[in-house]
Amino acid sequence: MTYHSEQLVKELDEIAQSLRMDALEMIYRRKAGHPGGSLSASEIITALIFHQLRIDPKNPDWEERDRFILSKGHACSLLYAALARRGFFPREELQTWGHIGGRLQGHPDRLKTPGVDMTTGMEGHGVAVGAGLCLAARIKNLNYDVYVLVGDGECQCGVLWEGAMIASKYRLSELTVIVDHNHVQLDGPVHEILPVDSLADKWRAFNFATFEIDGNNMREVLDVLDMAKEIRNKPTAIIAHTTKGKGVSFMENKSAWHGRPPNDEEYAQAISELKRRLSKE
C-alpha cells in the first residue's frame, strides 16, 4: 500500500469540500436535486475521480479507462461538479443542469454527459452492470477496473444481490463496490424502512473481500481503495460509514433532505458552514 502524503489528503479534502458547495449551489439554483446523499458521498467520489481512476478528460471514451458507475445516481450533482472540475466539460455548464437541451440530466445519462460511464438513477443496477463490464474486459483482454457506488437503501434491491452473486461466481477482482452507508433513505432511517443490518457480513457471505471504513475520512478512503486493488480472485465491497448531509449541520442524518432543495436562508447557512470547514482544513 502506498503512503498518501498529508499534502495529497489535504488537497483532496479541499476538493471534496468545494464539491459539496458546488453541488448545493446546483441544487439550490435548479430548485431540485438530492443534497443528503450527494454530501455523504463527496470524499468517495473525490477520491475516485481525482485520484484513483485511470481516466482522461480529453478522451472520455478511452477503451482502457477505469469505469465508475454511480449506481446511486441521485448523487449526480456531486458527480457533475467533480467531472467539470476534472475537465470533462466546462464548469459553467453546471448551471444548465436540468435544462431542456442541456447535457446534464436529472440523473446521469451516459449518452449526454462526458465522463458518465453508465446511465443510472433507478436503484440496483450498478453491481450487475459492473460485473458485465468486468467480463467484457476479460474477453477483450483489457486491463481496467470497475468501481460502483451504491447506497445503503439500494442494498434493499434484489437485483443488487443477484449481481453480487454473479460477480462472486466469476471471481471478478476487477470489481469494487462501495456502499455509501449513510443510514437514511427517502422515507426515513434505513433501519425503520427496511433494515439492511450487518451489511459487511452480507457482502462477506456473498464472497466479497469486505472492508469497513469511515467514508467521510479521506485518508481511509484512499487507503481502502489501494487495498481493494490488491485483492485477487474475488470482488471487493467497501462499507463506507458516512453521514447523510455531511457538512451541513441541519441536513445531517435527516431524511427530509434526501430530495429537497434548500430555500434562500437555508442555502446561505449551508454555504457559510461549508466555507468555515474549508478554511479550517
Partner 1 sequence: MKKMSIRKAYGQALADYGAENPNVAVVVADVSSSVQTGFFAKRFPERFFNVGITEQAMVDVAVGLALGGMIPFANTFAVLFLRAAEQIRTCVAYAKTNVKIVGSYSGLSNFKDGPTHHVECDIAVMRAMPNITVVEAADAVEARKMVPAVAEHDGPVYLRLSRSDVPVLLDESYEVKIGKGVVIRDGSDVALIASGVMVSRCLEAAEKLAEEGIDSYVVNMSTIKPLDTGLVVKLAEETGALVTAEDHSIIGGLGGAVAEALGEGKPANLERIGVRDTFTETALSYDELLDHYGMGVEDIVKAARRAVQRKHR
Interface with partner 1 by CB under 8 A: which residues? 63, 67, 109-111, 117-119, 121-122, 124-125, 127-140, 142, 158-159, 162-163, 165-166, 169-170
CB of 24 to partner 1, least distance (A): 27
CB of 244 to partner 1, least distance (A): 25
Q: Which is nearer to partner 1, 26 or 127 (CB)?
A: 127
Q: How many whole angstroms separate alpha carbon 105 and alpha carbon 87?
A: 18
The DSSP secondary structure of 78-101, one letter per residue, reads HHHHHHHHHTSS-GGGGGGTT-TT
Q: Which is nearer to partner 1, 19 or 48 (CB)?
A: 48
> b/e per residue, 157-194, with b = 16+ CB within 10 A?
beebbebbebbbeeebbbbbbbbbbbbbbeeeebeeee
Cβ partners under 8 Å of residue 81, min gap 6: 19, 22, 23, 26, 94
CB of 129 to partner 1, least distance (A): 4
Q: Which is nearer to partner 1, 91 or 110 (CB)?
A: 110
Closest CA relative to residue 119, chosen from 187, 74, 69, 45: 69
CA 279 to chain centre: 24
CB of 123 to partner 1, least distance (A): 10
Q: Which is nearer to partner 1, 44 or 129 (CB)?
A: 129
CB of 16 to partner 1, least distance (A): 27
- For cell 460485473, what's the residue? 131
Counting beta carbons within 10 angstroms of the beta carbon of residue 90, is it exposed (0 to 12), middle (13 to 18) or buried (19 or more)? exposed
CB of 103 to partner 1, least distance (A): 15
Cell of 144: 481496467
CB of 79 to partner 1, least distance (A): 16
- E strands in the chain: 67-70, 146-151, 175-181, 184-185, 188-189, 209-214, 236-241
Q: Which is nearer to partner 1, 151 or 215 (CB)?
A: 151
How open is the CA angle 76-59-83, to the nearest 5 degrees? 20
Closest CA relative to residue 172, chosen from 148, 145, 199: 145
Q: Which is nearer to partner 1, 136 or 194 (CB)?
A: 136
Q: Which is nearer to partner 1, 144 or 257 (CB)?
A: 144
Pairing mode of beta strands 236-241, 67-70: unpaired
